Chain A
């Protein structure tokens, strides 16, 4: 149903014992837009992603994807997840992993063409554990796209990538936006958020502390200055 946003998070709260991971977080991601989540380690980004995929239940609040609850069988094919680290068997090759993932969807992308596009083909037969961090990220990105989703969740998509691969990934994210996908991007890289995001949310201690378009937010200060001023990292 087109009137529902791709992702709507309202007053989301999750605690693990005495540790508060999400503390009344609100967020909205729309189709055809890149929404960036900026936050220090421990800000609650990974917890939010787990809650969005249905692996974690909220203590309070509500999450809906395309108007449906997380983990709903009709939602899962519509969302592609690119995990932050690994997410693959150590002995599987990139070609085998992507072929496996493609069999889970009704109209997957052609795996060979996808690997060509992301320049995975050269190491397609190498076991995942022998790939560099950047190569693993490229495979993970391909895995998020193979099912032709309406929304992708990219958890620090360019960490470990060399500058060429990084720019290639940026161009791909722009193409995803042009194709009408909702892109939810978590990143530590200010230049990445600045280059790609339509809307930026700065997250700290489980809640959004600052939101706006890049142009609005950077009117007087750089994104990094705002990040440092509004988050409580070790810096």
Chain B
């Protein structure tokens, strides 16, 4: 018989957060729908862009970096919103918030799991894009813009996903997150450059985080620097975090 004598204590913070990150990443990769969003769709767009894109006016040096933006959006926003919506519905958040992991550890673990999955996605997609012929030419300053914009946009997307999942019912979050995935990919300047959107939408969309990320990434195939991406991404990150902090509810 096991010894039930109390011996309570919290594990080291890093161990608990890392355990949570690994569990979330494992569950995400095991989920077929999430895997479709994370890898299958981006790979299909990449292959389509390489072999069919030019026929429809999409150059591969623009498609390839755009797909990286789509992958970041799918992990940071769509997958996070869906997974968190169901975690809230199933009482996972409520249960884990009452353990030594605490709410802050849960959010940190979730963020690390998103970064782990995203890193895996980007390594695979960049490798495939290079094999298919993508040759980025940007200088160091544009790569710096890409790095800061990507981090800020990831924060913004995760925060907006949490605001959505922490407010609406899980089924509604699922439907809305998938719908937004399509809308943002097609009309949010994530896959298609801002300049190809009709006015006045083209002007408006330039100030969205998806456009900031898409434009910054596409500029790696050119020789210019997209400075507008930085303030747009940073403002959305700040606004998203404030919104999530205010709107998120741990229980359903």
Contacts and interface: CB of A to CB of B under 8 A. Distances in A.
Interface string A129-156: 0000000000000010101111000000
B140 interface: no
Interface of A: prevailing SS: loop
Given A85-B91, A91-B30, A107 B10 contact: no
Interface string A74-113: 0011110101011111111000100011011111011001
Contacts of B4: 145, 148, 175-176, 179, 181
Contact of B90 (A90, A143, A176, A179): A90
Interface in A23-58: 50, 53-56
8 contacts: A73-B102, A77-B99, A88-B95, A89-B90, A103-B19, A107-B9, A110-B2, A179-B4
A101 B90 contact: no
A77 B2 contact: no
The 7 closest A-B pairs by CB, nearest first: A106-B9, A103-B19, A53-B98, A179-B4, A87-B95, A150-B6, A87-B91
Contact of A179 (B6, B10, B86, B98): B6
Interface of B: prevailing SS: loop
B92 A78 contact: no
Interface residues of A, number: 45
B97 interface: yes
Interface string B182-214: 000000000000000000000000000000000
Contacts of B86: 89-90
B101 A149 contact: no
Contact of B7 (A53, A56, A76, A107): A107
Interface in B73-101: 86-87, 90-92, 94-95, 97-101
Contact of B1 (A53, A96, A117, A150): A117
A89 B26 CA distance: 12
B100 A76 contact: yes
Contacts, number: 122
Contacts of A103: 11, 15-16, 19
Given A90-B86, A104-B11, A147 B5 contact: no
Interface of A: 50, 53-56, 71, 73, 76-79, 81, 83, 85-92, 96, 100-101, 103-107, 109-110, 113-114, 117, 143, 145, 147-150, 175-176, 179-181
A176 B6 CA distance: 9
A101 B99 contact: yes
A104 B7 CA distance: 13
A143 B98 contact: no
Contacts of A176: 4
A180 B4 CA distance: 9
A207 B30 CA distance: 45
B109 to A, nearest CB: 10
A114 B2 CA distance: 7
Given A87-B90, A87-B94, A73 B7 contact: no
